[in-house]
Structure 1
Amino acid sequence: MHPYIYLLIAIFAEIAGTTALKACEGFSKPWPTVVVFVGYGIAFYFLSLSLRTIPVGIAYAIWSGLGIAVISLIG
């Protein structure tokens, strides 16, 4: 699979985890808490796959930039 597809999966998983972070209310609600941990787990796994070929500075800039933009729109 193309490394930028891995990066997009990482971005969407990070967005899901971050969105669920507020809903889990200090990790007191089980399902949003599961979404947070699974979302961030998937995000870091696919980010690491993309880093096999994409330089870390470029991958992190895209990952954080798109994540911030989408989370800001959602929020």
Structure 2
Amino acid sequence: MANALTALGMVSGTILDGIDIALVVTDGEKVASRGPSMRVAYPADFRERLAAGPRQPCGSAGARSCPACLASSSGS
């Protein structure tokens, strides 16, 4: 396979249980080979924090703003 790339994919699903990780060799259209894969489970206390969501909306008074919000407000 010409122009083969090795890619590492990571995804966290909607059920907040952990991260799935997989390695593949691809040309961007076809998968030439699949490498190792694994799931890394989140600790229970971290799952609870994720499920609770943010304490305050990003950008609200007293909230710690996310880097994207800080970057977008620096130009105004």
- TM-score normalised by the chain length of structure 2: 0.24
Structure with greater strand share of residues: 2
Larger Rg: 2
- TM-score normalised by the chain length of structure 1: 0.24
Structure with greater helix share of residues: 1
